[in-house]
Amino acid sequence: MFQRILVPLDGSKRAERTIPVALRLARSNGGTIILLRVVNPNWPSFAQAGLTQELPAKAKFEAENYLLTVSKSKEFHGVHTEIVVPFGSAGATILTTAMLHHADIIVINSHGNTGVSRWIMGSVADKVTRYAEMPVLLFRDKSALPAGSDPSEPLRILVPLDGSDLAMTALEPAAELVTMLMLSTSTNNTLHLTRVIDDSEKLQAAEYYLQTIATRIQQGEMAPIVARQHMTVTWSIAVNADTADAIVRVAEKGEDTENSGVSGVCNLIAMTTHGLTGLPFWTMGSITERVRAGTQLPLLIVRPTDMGNPLTTHHIYESESVTSET
C-alpha cells in the first residue's frame, strides 16, 4: 500500500504538476505526503557570494516557507503532510530522504525548474528512477495525468512481461496504483499485459504464456488485488525486433499486432528495473531505459525487492523535518 508518498519539488509549476496525483493517492487510504525541496550548497550562487553560512541559511528558510505555503493550500485540506528541506545534491538526497522517511512511492516530474530534459546523463529524475528502492511514478512534462482530473474515469495500465518472475513484480504495484487513483469510484479498470516477440514462430508459446498469466490473475493466484477490485485483464502480443518501440506503440497507439486481445490506448506503463536476464535494465540501450525515454505516458518503475539497490550510500549534509496537519 502506498501509504507514504514522497513528492520532490523545486519551486516550479512543472514539478507541482505531480501534486494532484499524490493527493489522490493519499486520500485513498489516509496516507501522508512528504514534501521535499533540496537545497544544494554547491550551487554557483553560493560559491560566488562567498557567504558559506548566510546564503544557504536564507535558501533553506525560503524553501521551508515555500513548502509550508504549498501544504497550507486548500487542495491539501485534511491530508497529513511532512516537510523536509535537506542540504545535498538533488538526486542522492531525494533517494536518501525516501529511505530515511520510509516512503512507499516517489512521485516526480521529469522536468523541473530548468526545463532541461530528464534524459541527459546525471539528471535528477534519471538518477531517482535508476536507484530508488521503492516504486517511482514518473511523469513527462506534458503527459496527461492518469484519467485526467476525473477519478471516475476508468484507467488502462500496461504491464510488459518477458516470461520472467522479475518482470511480473510490477503487476501488484500497478493494480494497487490504479485502485488508489480511482478512489473506488470507477469500474472497468483494465490491466493490459503485453509480450513482445521477435519471430512469429514464437507466437503460440507467447499466447499460452499470457493466457496462463491472465487466468492466474483473474483467479486471484497472482496480484490478488486485481480480482478483488474486479479489474479486467487483457493481453496482446507484438511481433517486433525492437522491444522498446513495440511497448510504446502498444501503450500509446493501442497496437495489437496479432489481434490476441482487446486493444486500446493505455494511460500508464508499469515496468520493472530488471527482466529476463536478471541484469539491471539501466544500461544504455536497455528496454526500460528506452521505453522511459520514448514514451509520452506516465511510467511506474518498480525495483524487484530481491534485487537489492546498487546505490548503497548517499551523502546528505543536513535533514530536518517540519510536520503539519492541514
pLDDT digit string, tens, across residues 46-98: 555 555 566 678 888 999 999 999 999 999 999 999 999 999 888 999 999 99
In tens, the pLDDT along 199-213 reads 989 999 999 999 999
Q: Looking at the 3D structure of the chain, how many domains does it have? A: 2
Task: Give the model's confidence band at 123: pLDDT under 50 very low, under 70 low, under 90 confident, else very high.
Answer: confident
Residue 149 lies in a domain: no
Residue 143 lies in a domain: no
**Same domain? 160 vs 231:** yes
**Same domain? 61 vs 165:** no
Domain assignment of residue 269, given as a range: 156-303
Predicted model pTM: 0.86
- Taking alpha carbons only, the member of 66, 74, 57, 13 closest to residue 35 is 66
- In this prediction, residue 120 carries a pLDDT of 35
**Same domain? 27 vs 110:** yes
C-alpha cell at 290: 528506452
- Residues 147 and 12: their CA atoms lie apart, in Å, by 23
Task: Give the model's confidence band at 312: pLDDT under 50 very low, under 70 low, under 90 confident, else very high.
Answer: very low
- In this prediction, residue 183 carries a pLDDT of 60
Crossing angle between the packed helical segments 287-294 and 243-253, to the nearest 10 degrees: 40
Residue 46 lies in a domain: yes
Residue 147 lies in a domain: no
**Same domain? 90 vs 220:** no
Residue 150 lies in a domain: no
**Same domain? 23 vs 114:** yes
- Type of residue found at 239: V
Contact by Cβ (8 Å): 89, 33: no
DSSP 39: B
Residue 49 lies in a domain: yes
- Residues 38 and 6: their CA atoms lie apart, in Å, by 13
**Same domain? 193 vs 121:** no
**Same domain? 57 vs 178:** no
Residue 180 lies in a domain: yes
Residue 140 lies in a domain: no
Residue 264 φ/ψ, nearest 5 degrees: 160, 150
Least confident of 92-101, 230-239, 277-286: 277-286
In tens, the pLDDT along 133-189 reads 999 999 976 665 654 446 567 889 999 999 989 999 999 999 999 989 876 555 678
**Same domain? 29 vs 84:** yes
**Same domain? 124 vs 188:** no
195: domain CATH number is: 3.40.50.620
